[in-house]
């Protein structure tokens, strides 16, 4: 597809939402560095977090070319209200159960979204998505292994997991917030199907897992159209953290 | 279910590239094979330094460290491909016969003969 024929507005929204998702979950998870439950898990979670920041960098890179902007500026120079990550990632780091619940919900949803982009007609994105899928497979295995362990524990671990899922339930499906002008993406063959259809696929994917582990399925999202807006206090705090160095010396070369 | 108390060591072997031997890389602590594999992957593969890992529960390894079996006290040099070590035996024979060890010939002597 030629650049001129691209549905640029919708594509920009898609890239920004994906990049912000990866960026925010990467930063949230990096908060475990040094304090994870065991040394090996510390290394694993830190490495996963780095992977996500790498994915964000690649996606900001694509977006930067599309809108002629510097990827660093896209990542760091916006106000909190201008980020478009989904509300699922707006709950603060929380405890380990919260982190695993969020990771599982996000990774399983992200996988469905990536599958819907893998065969897309815009080659730069389809190529990148092919690579992301290979890396995210491990992330899903890791989150799934932990979800199962916490759920089957039956003690405090399961109780905390249930609490976390309850806190996240109304935002669980916000990865699939309809994008502005997303019909143009589907029409251009960049996105295989609308977000609402992807959410149905996601529910069909995680349904058997939740049933097997006797976990409550997340209900339908209230006001799904605002699923990437209205970021709260937890995100403002995180934004303050991840922009602190950048803001300390605007325009500096690192 | 797994708790910190049930962690146990797993030994990790890694292959750097196709055709290389598996070499011991180190160990990880984990409650089961699945997490041990994840941790092995993070500690010995996240920088693309491996193409294959073997993850083995340490207690499944048959350990032999008996020095009576591995370092027997009597001379075993005759089992080596080079056969007996002759130097000490020759020295002892010379001692008995009173001969001194022949000196190495100089290169001039060698040429004159």
Q: What is the pLDDT of residues A51-77, one digit of tens each?
A: 999 999 999 999 999 999 999 999 999
3-state secondary structure of B34: helix
Nearest Cα to Cα of residue A116 among A63, A190, A183:
A190
State the average pLDDT for chain A.
95
pLDDT tens for each residue of B23-78: 999 999 999 999 999 999 999 998 889 999 999 999 999 999 999 888 888 877 77
- The H-or-E segment that residue B105 falls in is none
pLDDT band, very low/low/confident/very high, at B113 (cuts 50, 70, 90): very low
pLDDT tens for each residue of A78-92: 999 999 999 999 999
Residues 6+ apart with CB under 8 A from A45: A29, A32, A33, A36, A99
Contact between A145 and B30 using a beta-carbon 8 Å cutoff: no
User: Within a domain: residue A97?
Assistant: yes
pLDDT tens for each residue of A92-136: 999 999 999 999 999 999 999 999 999 999 999 999 999 999 999
User: Within a domain: residue A253?
Assistant: no
Instruction: Give the pLDDT score at A74.
Output: 96
pLDDT (mean) for A210-214? 98
Instruction: Give the pLDDT score at B111.
Output: 54
User: Within a domain: residue A79?
Assistant: yes
pLDDT tens for each residue of A4-55: 578 999 999 999 999 999 999 999 999 999 999 889 999 999 999 999 999 9
Rg of chain B taking only CA atoms, in angstroms:
27
Instruction: Give the pLDDT score at B1.
Output: 46
Contact between B30 and A153 using a beta-carbon 8 Å cutoff: no
The whole-angstrom separation of Cα A75 and Cα A55 is 12
Instruction: Reply yes or no on whether the pLDDT at B80 is more than 80.
Output: no
Contact between B42 and A37 using a beta-carbon 8 Å cutoff: no
> Which CATH number goes with the domain that contains A209?
1.20.1260.10
For residues B52 and A250, which has the higher predicted lDDT (pLDDT)? B52
pLDDT band, very low/low/confident/very high, at A250 (cuts 50, 70, 90): confident
Contact between A149 and B38 using a beta-carbon 8 Å cutoff: no
pLDDT (mean) for B101-112? 62
Using a CB-CB cut-off of 8 Å, the residues of chain B touching A154 are 1
Instruction: Give the pLDDT score at A100.
Output: 97
Q: Mind listing the domains of chain B with CATH numbers? A: 4-60 (3.10.20.520)
The whole-angstrom separation of Cα A60 and Cα A65 is 9
Based on the structure, what is the number of domains in chain A?
Answer: 1
Compute how many other C-beta atoms are within 10 angstroms of the C-beta atom of residue A145: 17
User: Within a domain: residue A94?
Assistant: yes
End-to-end CA distance of chain B: 86
- Whole-structure pTM value: 0.84
Instruction: Give the pLDDT score at B91.
Output: 85
Instruction: Reply yes or no on whether the pLDDT at B109 is more than 60.
Output: no
Chosen from B33, B46, B50, B55 to mutate, greatest number of chain A CBs within 10 A: B46
Instruction: Give the pLDDT score at B31.
Output: 94
Cα nearest neighbour of B27 on chain A: A40
- The H-or-E segment that residue A45 falls in is helix A39-67
State the average pLDDT for chain B.
85
Using a CB-CB cut-off of 8 Å, the residues of chain A touching B2 are 149
Cα nearest neighbour of B47 on chain A: A47
Chosen from A39, A44, A146 to mutate, greatest number of chain B CBs within 10 A: A44
Contact between B7 and A152 using a beta-carbon 8 Å cutoff: no
Pairing of strands B23-30, B8-15: antiparallel
User: Would you say B13 and A164 are in contact if contact means Cβ atoms under 8 Å apart?
Assistant: no
DSSP conformation letters of A55-87: HHHHHHHHHHHHHT--HHHHHHSS-GGG----G
For residues B82 and A207, which has the higher predicted lDDT (pLDDT)? A207
Range of the domain at A157: 3-248
User: Within a domain: residue A230?
Assistant: yes
């Amino acid at each position: 597809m030629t650049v001129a024929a691209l549905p640029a507005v919708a594509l920009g929204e898609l890239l920004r939402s994906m990049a912000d998702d990866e960026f925010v979950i990467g930063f949230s998870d990096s908060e475990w560095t040094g304090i994870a439950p065991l040394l090996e898990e510390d290394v694993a979670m830190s490495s996963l977090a780095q992977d996500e920041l790498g994915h964000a960098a690649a996606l900001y890179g694509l977006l930067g070319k599309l809108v002629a902007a510097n990827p660093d500026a896209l990542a760091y120079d916006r106000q909190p209200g201008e980020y478009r990550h989904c509300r699922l990632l707006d709950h603060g780091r929380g405890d380990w159960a919260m982190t695993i619940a969020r990771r599982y919900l996000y990774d399983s949803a992200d996988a469905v979204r990536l599958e819907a982009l893998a065969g897309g007609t815009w080659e730069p994105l389809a190529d990148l998505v092919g690579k992301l899928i290979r890396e995210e497979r491990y992330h899903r295995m890791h989150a799934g292994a932990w979800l199962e362990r916490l759920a089957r524990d039956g003690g405090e671990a399961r109780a905390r997991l249930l609490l976390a899922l309850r806190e996240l339930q109304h935002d669980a499906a916000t990865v699939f917030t309809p994008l502005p002008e997303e019909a143009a993406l589907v029409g251009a063959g960049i996105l295989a199907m609308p977000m609402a259809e992807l959410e149905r696929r996601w529910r069909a994917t995680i349904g058997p897992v939740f049933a097997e582990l006797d976990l409550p399925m997340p209900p339908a999202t209230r006001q799904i159209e605002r699923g990437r807006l209205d970021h709260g206090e937890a995100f403002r705090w995180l934004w303050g953290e991840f922009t602190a160095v950048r803001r300390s010396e605007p325009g500096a070369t690192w | 279910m797994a708790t910190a108390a049930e962690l146990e060591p797993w030994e990790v072997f890694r292959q750097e590239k196709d055709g290389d031997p598996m070499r011991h890389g180190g160990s990880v602590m984990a409650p089961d094979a699945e997490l041990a594999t994840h941790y092995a992957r993070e500690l010995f593969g996240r920088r693309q330094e491996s193409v294959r890992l073997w993850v083995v529960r340490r207690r499944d390894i048959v350990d032999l460290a008996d020095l009576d079996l591995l370092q027997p006290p009597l001379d075993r040099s005759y089992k080596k491909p080079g056969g007996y070590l002759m130097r000490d035996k020759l020295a002892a024979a010379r001692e008995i016969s009173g001969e001194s060890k022949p000196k190495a010939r100089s290169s001039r002597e060698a040429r004159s003969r």
